[in-house]
Structure 1
């Protein structure tokens, strides 16, 4: 099942995508369902079962505008840096990594992006807010937590996952380097495009077989599978939950593959008028223009 948050003339609510990518109005089929994604996730398996049942009779919304699946996360988005081998190498050699000397990290590098950075599909990435002119893209597969927990074991990690979505970890590289800690370079308003949907964990499989590709202006820049991660999904969940309680609706962006703008000589930063397209089969396409 692919769940979305959408808006039309009747307001904002949750829906599902059919096989053709059309938005189905779940609330119209079952008025008991929560109208927001965080409420649906918090409702657990019982609420998800209601959503699956509603999907079979839900009408298509012709004028739906798809938003980020969780337009306003309750907490910062957890992000993981340098989590693909080839990207770790390109970042280390780029001159923009001021955080550590090792190329491949010994443990997950975890940082965060604030809720105010989240935008949805087709919304402009506000590169004009990056005064350094060094805005870069990072296509990522993200985990959406479904069941809360602290001290979650790797063996139990998949039982805490609600589903998966796509995140573009947009980054002002000069600010990332200047401030050492990455939140100022990565947490700018609008620097976290997300969507278009959350594919539920049962539909993605355990472990999920997900692949990601990123294009800039039609040019393929990134391609990898989630199997290429240095630290896999169970390790990320165990590492973060050892210190911080994970709650329903929390998001973990798992890292980006090689092929980002700073991997080129000279760097190929985003400019107004560019378009970034990220695709994960089974989830969909997250596309955003650059402003």
Structure 2
């Protein structure tokens, strides 16, 4: 009977957000609305430039277009709710809405991670085995790699969401964060989180670290091959095709590892700053990193902008 009285009475959570001060809410709303619009516009331009340019119909840009699409969905899972809360007195999210947000946070975040690993493999084949590149990275195989990246990530997210749904929340419903992340939710639970923590530190770590190890292996092989190229121009050309991807990998994995590969007991409110990097900042910067550091991408975006400008009717 005592256990029945302890069943979850929480129907909604309160997201404290980035700042409790009322005077900060409108400036934060303007800042994140701008970042969101830049993210959507930048990633859409990348997708449209790749789709409309025959020169960009290669596996590398095929994966990049899906990465941009995932980034749009990833940011949309988080930022619109933040914007609503900035202008609301009661910053609440329903229990079902919270679990849904967490599900897509992990599903799309891990899709990003797997796609970065697939892109590293693509660069490995292009540089280390160029004669078999066309057959190894066939369109059919590229589609299968993308499909696996997405489906595997959704299964991983479903596992953690179902485990979280089994927990009891009976005391505080205040989340010290701007989104429904697993660590602050576990800290609110009044039931045992032992199974959840074990799964996070085992299955979660494997899912997170495996793509990173694949990226590391690919780039070690690329580095060994590039160092054997006799000409400095050849080395620069090889490294230039990897520079953008390495920059994105560093931003994404640096923040993710800091956030999730430490015990629940050491989680603090300050960790939301790191969460901002991989949830909002990286998605916004990706289009700039890939277009500014890649000549083909820069030309593709420039050609698309010229077409848009040409087809836009002039106002007299």
Alignment TM class, shorter chain as reference: under 0.3
The structure in which a higher percent of residues are helix is 2
Higher RCO (C-alpha 8 Å, min separation 6) = 2
The structure in which a higher percent of residues are strand is 1
